[in-house]
Amino acid sequence: MNPRLSAWLTTGVLLAASAAPALAQPDSAVTLPGLGTLTFPTSATAPAAAQAFTRGVLLLHVFEYDEAADAFRAAERAEPGFALAYWGEAMTCTHPVWDEQDLAAGRAALAKLAPTAAARAAKAATPREKGYLQAVEVLYGDGPKARRDTLYAGAMEQLAAAYPHDDEAKLFYALSLLGLSQGVRNVPTYLRAAAIAESVFTRNPRHPGAAHYWIHGMDDPDHAADALPAARALAGIAPDAGHAQHMTSHIFVALGMWDDVVAANENAMRVVNAARATHGRSPASCGHSNLFLDYGLLQQGRVGDARRLLAACRDQAAGQRAASRDLDPDAYSFVTMWSRYLLDTRAWAGEVARWNVDPGPAPAPRLSYWFTRGFAAARSGDLAGTRNALAAYEAAAREVRAGIDSAGAVPSPDDREFLSRTEVLRLELAGLVSGLAGDRAGSLDTLRRATAAEDGMAYAFGPPFVNEPSHELLGEELLGAGQSAAARGEFETALRRTPGRTSALLGLARAERQMGDPASAAQAYSKLAAIWRAADADLPGLAEARHPAP
């Protein structure tokens, strides 16, 4: 551990614990309607500062960062000497789960309290508040982000140990653990964060951060069922927070609960659009929650509704360009939703396939665009079109690689995962080119390499990070080669990674039927028919699922 960090942890926090007054008991908990309940006693003397601070912390716990920053700044105005208000504003500049940090803004927020760390520490009214302030000093200290994240997590672990009844320290420690792997899931660490959050939830089932971090720690197919209580609770805890409404769908996607996915994100957009309306803004049709909503609609077979949402996003994104891999810029979320629509409907000759889509100059959205164009060409039997798309895709991939290399440092875990995804998609297109050129054995070999590469990636929550899941694609090609038993194995593997995904279920049913196993095929078709109970009549595969051939 960094010697300076170790020193202040010992003298500034651990020894202070014995001298510090006990934390307020649960009966001092504060509830803000629409945002939840917490117990966070502070030295604030102005009631307006205390109320704004509580609002800021609750918003911080549900990742409503802009509103949280406004609340903390209101606390600063109400009581300029209240040190924790500046701590709170600084905390809104780091988004651990998303691997985002505005270092300059975080430092600037702290500098408003006092120009140096020592001067700021002197303004902290209690040893406990000094501990919070010193921990955030580590987060915005010197050195690369990954190192500061690690030191900050250590600081929060020590703070939580020094104040064992402080649920806020525990929860911010849990959040710091979620950020340690720089945006990429590390299962043991994520489960540790989830366990901490769950322990707080048992004491305060109205705490938004407890439910929220419990979900984040377990939003993968292997563990999501254990976080269903948090998913069921969070929407009711914080009905005024759009992200809280959306966040429940992380668990529902991981379990293939498509009706719940759609309902959660419809609720999220109602909250978001109501807030936009108060500021004179039109409803949002793009963005993270709409991406989840569109995917859920596609899984339900509500293709018309998905197409209408996609068209609205197209209109909203017109003229915009994405400059990064961020999920939320309108232009990039539109390209992602457009890709999902075509890949999940297989409507290669339909209206959406004929749209004139401009992915913009950034290489990342171009990857999704050219992969989708190439996949559509391959499924239409167009070898030349597939080859041309593969060449354009590879050019965009080289730009991504060059951009990461130009940073001059070892790629971050997030960058490495993105490069892995880029290679999986390249192998998929290359495999399809080989198949169209008549080299079936080479095609299958290349697609198996794609599955091996995807299997080496960490699970990423939400709609498939790899646009066309590689085990599904290999399963389809094996079916075409008459290798039904091998195909069934691929679809079963795909369903373990994406439970309830309808294209994998359809492939599994077809493989089992091809194998001469009508009972197993009927079971898979029955699951499909249940998911598609409200599907559009012209959905490909719907008649097959409802009336499977013997």
- Residue 538 main-chain phi, psi, to 5 deg: -95, 15
Is 90 exceeded by the pLDDT of residue 23?
no
The boundaries of the domain holding residue 550 are 470-550
Within 13 A of 143's CA, how many CA atoms are on the CB side? 12
Q: Which residues pair with 101 in a beta bridge?
A: 94
Which is nearest to 374 in space by CA: 431, 325, 334, 454?
431
Q: How far apart are the first and last CA of the chain?
A: 66
pLDDT over 60 (residue 27): no
What's the average model confidence in pLDDT over 491-506? 97
The domain boundary, picked from 184, 216, 243, lies at 184
Amino acid found at 132: Y
Tell me the mean pLDDT in the region 486-501.
98
DSSP element (H, E) containing 94: strand 94-95
Strand, coil or helix: what is 6?
helix
Residue 168, domain member (yes or no): yes
Residue 18 pLDDT > 60, yes or no? no
Q: In the chain, how long is the greatest CA-to-CA distance? A: 79
Phi-psi region of 406 (alpha: psi -120 to 50; beta: other; left: phi over 0): alpha
Mean pLDDT of the chain: 92
Q: How many Cβ atoms sit within 10 Å of the Cβ of residue 226?
A: 15
Q: Looking at the 3D structure of the chain, how many domains does it have?
A: 2
- Asked if residue 19 has pLDDT above 50, the reply is no
pLDDT at site 25: 38
Residue 317 covered by a domain? no
The answer to whether position 421 is within a domain reads no
447 domain residue, yes or no: no
Q: Which of 143, 166, 184 is the last residue of a domain?
A: 184
Read off the tokens for 470. Answer: 């590689």
Q: Which of 16-20, 37-41, 450-454, 518-522 has the least mean pLDDT?
A: 16-20
Residue range 148-165: average pLDDT?
Answer: 97
Rounded average pLDDT over 376-402: 97
pLDDT the model gives residue 1: 35
Which alpha helices (DSSP H) does 204-302 contain, by range?
208-218, 228-237, 242-254, 258-278, 288-300
pLDDT, tens only, 431-454: 999 999 999 999 999 999 999 999
d(Cα 213, Cα 219) in Å, to the nearest integer?
A: 10
- Rounded Cα distance, 384 and 351, in Å: 22
Residue 13 predicted with pLDDT over 70: no
**Which two three-digit tokens encode residue 520?**
């197993």
**What's 120's domain CATH number?**
1.25.40
Residue 443 tokens, joined: 């095609």
Are 240 and 34 in contact by the 8 Å Cβ rule? The answer is yes
Contacts for 455 with CB less than 8 Å, ≥ 6 apart? none
Return the closest-CA partner of residue 32 out of 247, 278, 267, 239. Answer: 239
Domain contains 274? no
pLDDT band of 329, cuts 50, 70, 90: low
Is 455 a residue whose pLDDT tops 50?
A: yes
Statement: residue 348 has pLDDT above 90: yes
In the numeric block, which tokens belong to residue 336? Answer: 């992602």
Distance CA 505, CA 517 (A): 15
- Considering the entire predicted model, what is its pTM? 0.92
248 Cα distance to chain centroid? 11
pLDDT at 321 (0 to 100): 52
Is residue 209 assigned to a domain?
no
- Distance between CA atoms of residues 56 and 60, nearest Å: 6
Residue 69 CB-density burial (10 A; 0-12 exposed, 13-18 middle, 19+ buried): buried
The answer to whether residue 55 is domain-embedded is: yes
Whether the pLDDT of residue 12 is over 80: the answer is no
pLDDT-derived band at 60, boundaries 50, 70, 90: very high
506 in any annotated domain = yes
What CATH number did the domain enclosing 528 receive? 1.25.40.10
- State yes or no: pLDDT of 312 exceeds 50: yes
Q: Tell me, what DSSP letter sits at residue 224?
A: G
**pLDDT recorded at residue 219:** 97
pLDDT tens digits, one per residue of 166-187: 999 999 999 999 999 998 999 9
* 519: helix, strand or coil: helix
For residue 323, the model assigns a pLDDT of 42
pLDDT for 317 equals: 86
pLDDT of residue 16: 36
Q: In this predicted structure, which of 30-39, 318-327, 376-385 has the lowest mean pLDDT?
A: 318-327
Q: What is the dihedral of CA 194, 197, 202, 207, to 10 degrees?
A: -140
Last residue of a domain, one of 184, 202, 228: 184
Alpha carbon distance 540, 415 (integer Å): 36
Q: What is the pLDDT of residue 549?
A: 82
**Nearest in space to 175 (alpha carbons), one of 207, 221, 128:** 207
